[in-house]
Amino acid sequence: MNEPRAASTSPTNGGGGLSRRKFFKLAGMAAAGGAAGLLVPRNLPAAGGRRLSAAIDDSFWKRVQKEFIIDPEVVYMNIGTTGAMPQQVLERYHEYNTLAATHPRTFESELGATFGLEAQRATLADQFGCNMDEICLSRNTTDGLDAIVYGLEFARGDEILITHHEHIGALSPLNVIQDRYGVQITPVEIPVLNAKNGRQFIKAFKKNISKRTKAILFSHITYKTGTRLPAKALCEMARENGLISIVDGAHCPGMIALDFHDMGCDFYAGPGHKWQCGPGCTGILYLRNHGGNLPRFWTQNSSTYTFAVQTCGNERGAFDIAYSLQYRGQLNIPAQLAMMDACNMWEEIGRENIEAYVCGLSSYLKRSLKKRFGGQGILFSPDVPELNSGLTSFNPFDDITDGGKIKEMVHHLDEAGYQVRYTNFLVGLNDPTDTYALRISTHLFHDKTHVDGLVTALYDTYTRMAG
């Protein structure tokens, strides 16, 4: 196992040379997004952000891979659950924590009353294609979805359409408003075994819209099969039908490039700790605050409602909705600053470049599985560019409802040094039993050799178990 490179300060050395002055520079850079240099200057001649594409080749990705300290003895392929911080982000996180411990007053007084949160939102707005008053950091996807679902106004009999592959993080707040207010939650059956294009998903939703439908909620990429839904077209369909669009983006920030204005969604909740590889308890929350038909919203779990929203009579568009959700009492500022460092690092690599790398590797995995298993088993993740993602779900066995076999396989793969997880889901909405699949995540710290190794281990395990 690789030893992590020594962090530049130690918590026991009273700041270890990390003076208040240097701290201000660090914290200011992270907050404002000016921390360029996390990756590029050490490795490449001057280049930045999306301009890097010309310099992208295998050696570049090798350098990116080296930024991660993840245990090389284990091939970690469960980013869908949580990611891993790159070394430099971890070092910064440590430095921020050290400063918070050695100069607690500094955090409060010298970072400013707003802890640099405005600068963070300006940076995020720039990176995710929206305005500053529409984006803030949350604690994770679940936290963002809670803020959205509980913030919206629904009445008894209103209906929200969801896919039949949503995560409990979205289902839980939906079930609360179902039980509390009598809102009907209607699952729409989306294509699973026969997903070929985005139009199928639009059709599935469209035919379920009724007079009572008020909103749609869908995963941009489902956690069950890794299928990418046509978010822009679904949001357009919602708009045309006067519906609110809510997107669960748990598997998107840090994996695919996002432009919220281009997507046209009303609300989008994502994590910072999964594909974006920020610290735990960080997330990204988008709330449209411009254009027509802004839905009435009651800011929840916030310490600013009283003076930021109530003073405007809670009139949508009249207040900064992201600001209204930015403060939830005392925050984990070091984690937020480190999250911004991770975001800035991703910008340096180029978010389109990352998407191409991650989805390219995932497509390679899908093709390799098909080749190695010669048609045996079922690949639940479509290898179609518009539906592809960094998640791959596969079951090699004849009986795809046998959960015991898939769980055993996860265990054997773990013993062989490959960490993946399983998911279970209904293929058809009215199926009597769940189907099971292995779910494999491929990210920046992987390359084709990892994928080849996994496919071999998977095939060996399969032949042993089948024989």
Ligand X SMILES: Cc1ncc(COP(=O)(O)O)c(C=O)c1O
Closest distance to ligand X from the beta carbon of 325 (Å): 16
The CA–CA distances, whole Å, from 357 to 349, 353, 448 equal 11, 6, 11
Q: Exactly one of 120, 123, 140, 324 binds ligand X (CB under 6 A); which one?
A: 140
CA–CA separation, 394 vs 397, rounded Å?
A: 9
- The size of the interface with ligand X (CB under 6 A), counted in residues, is 14
Cα separation of 217 and 238, whole Å? Answer: 10
Q: Which of 223, 260, 297, 357 binds ligand X (CB under 6 A)?
A: 223
Q: Which stretch binds ligand X (CB under 6 A): 68-76, 165-173, 258-266, 317-325?
A: 165-173
Residue 459: both structure tokens together: 């095939």
Show contacts with ligand X in window 280-319 (CB under 6 A).
283
What is the nearest approach in angstroms of ligand X to the Cβ of residue 360? Answer: 22
User: Under the criterion CB under 6 A, does residue 348 sit at the interface with ligand X?
Assistant: no
| Residue 283: CB minimum distance to ligand X, A | 6
Nearest residue (CB) to ligand X, 134 versus 248: 248
**How many angstroms separate the first and last alpha carbons of the chain?**
34
In the complex with ligand X, the residue whose CB is nearer, 98 or 441, is: 441
State the alpha helices, DSSP H only, in 77-210. Answer: 87-102, 104-109, 117-127, 141-151, 168-181, 199-206
Contact between 407 and ligand X by CB under 6 A: the answer reads no
| Interaction between residue 169 and ligand X (CB under 6 A) | yes
Scored b (16 or more CB within 10 A) or e, 233-262 reads: bbbbbbbeeebbbbbbbbbbbbbbbbebbe
Choices 87-95, 102-110, 166-174, 210-218 (CB under 6 A): range interacting with ligand X:
166-174
The dihedral region occupied by 301, where left means phi > 0, alpha psi between -120 and 50, and beta the remainder, is left
141 scored as a contact of ligand X (CB under 6 A): yes
Work out which of 219, 225, 289, 353 binds ligand X, going by CB under 6 A.
Answer: 219
Helix (H, G, I), strand (E, B) or coil at 214: strand
Closest distance between ligand X and the C-beta of residue 248, in Å? 5
Q: How far apart are CA 254 and CA 270, in angstroms?
A: 10
String of DSSP letters for 46-65: S--GGGGGGG-SHHHHHHHH
- If the CB atoms of residues 219 and 393 are measured against ligand X, the closer one turns out to be 219
Cβ 144 to ligand X, closest distance in Å?
8
Question: How near is the Cβ of 67 to ligand X at its closest, in Å?
Answer: 22
CB distance 430 to 415 below 8 Å = no
Give the dihedral of Cα atoms 15, 18, 19, 24; nearest 10 deg. Answer: -120
Q: Which of 50, 167, 316, 412 binds ligand X (CB under 6 A)?
A: 167
Kindly state the smallest distance separating residue 107's Cβ from ligand X, in Å.
25
- For residues 312 and 324, give the distance between their C-alpha atoms in angstroms, rounded to a whole number: 12
Task: Decide: is 225 part of the binding site for ligand X (CB under 6 A).
Answer: no
Interacting residues with ligand X between 75 and 114 (CB under 6 A): 80-81
**What is the Cα–Cα distance from 269 to 333, expressed in whole angstroms?**
20
**Residue 440 CB-half CA count within 13 A:** 34
For ligand X, the closer of residues 214 and 224 by Cβ is: 224
Range 170-189, binding ligand X (CB under 6 A): 170
Nearer of residues 91 and 355 to ligand X, judged by Cβ: 355
Q: Which residues contact 23 (CB under 8 A, 6 or more apart)?
A: 95, 99, 103, 106
Among 120, 142, 326, 423, binds ligand X (CB under 6 A): 142
CA dist 456 and 36 (Å) reads 39
Q: Minimum distance between the CB of residue 250 and ligand X, rounded to whole angstroms?
A: 3
Site for ligand X in 320-339 (CB under 6 A): none
- Span of 87-95, 138-146, 315-323, 391-399 interacting with ligand X by CB under 6 A: 138-146
Q: Which span sits near ligand X by CB under 6 A: 39-47, 66-74, 164-172, 301-309?
A: 164-172
3 state SS for 81-94: CCCCCEHHHHHHHH
Residue 366 or 439 having the CB closest to ligand X: 439
| Nearer CB in complex with ligand X: 161/457 | 161
Which residues inside 232-271 make contact with ligand X, applying CB under 6 A?
248, 250, 271
Q: Cβ of residue 44: shortest distance to ligand X, in angstroms?
A: 32
CB 267 within 8 A of CB 218: no
Q: Smaller CB distance to ligand X: residue 223 or 425? A: 223
Give the phi and the psi of residue 391 in degrees, each rounded to 5: -110, 135
Shortest distance in whole angstroms from residue 191 CB to ligand X: 18
Give 397-403's long-range contacts (Cβ < 8 A, gap of 24+): 397/462, 397/466, 400/435, 400/436, 400/437, 401/433, 401/434, 401/435, 401/436, 402/436, 403/434, 403/436
Q: Give the nearest distance from C-beta 165 to ligand X in angstroms.
A: 9
* Contacting positions for ligand X (CB under 6 A): 80-81, 140-142, 167, 169-170, 219, 223, 248, 250, 271, 283
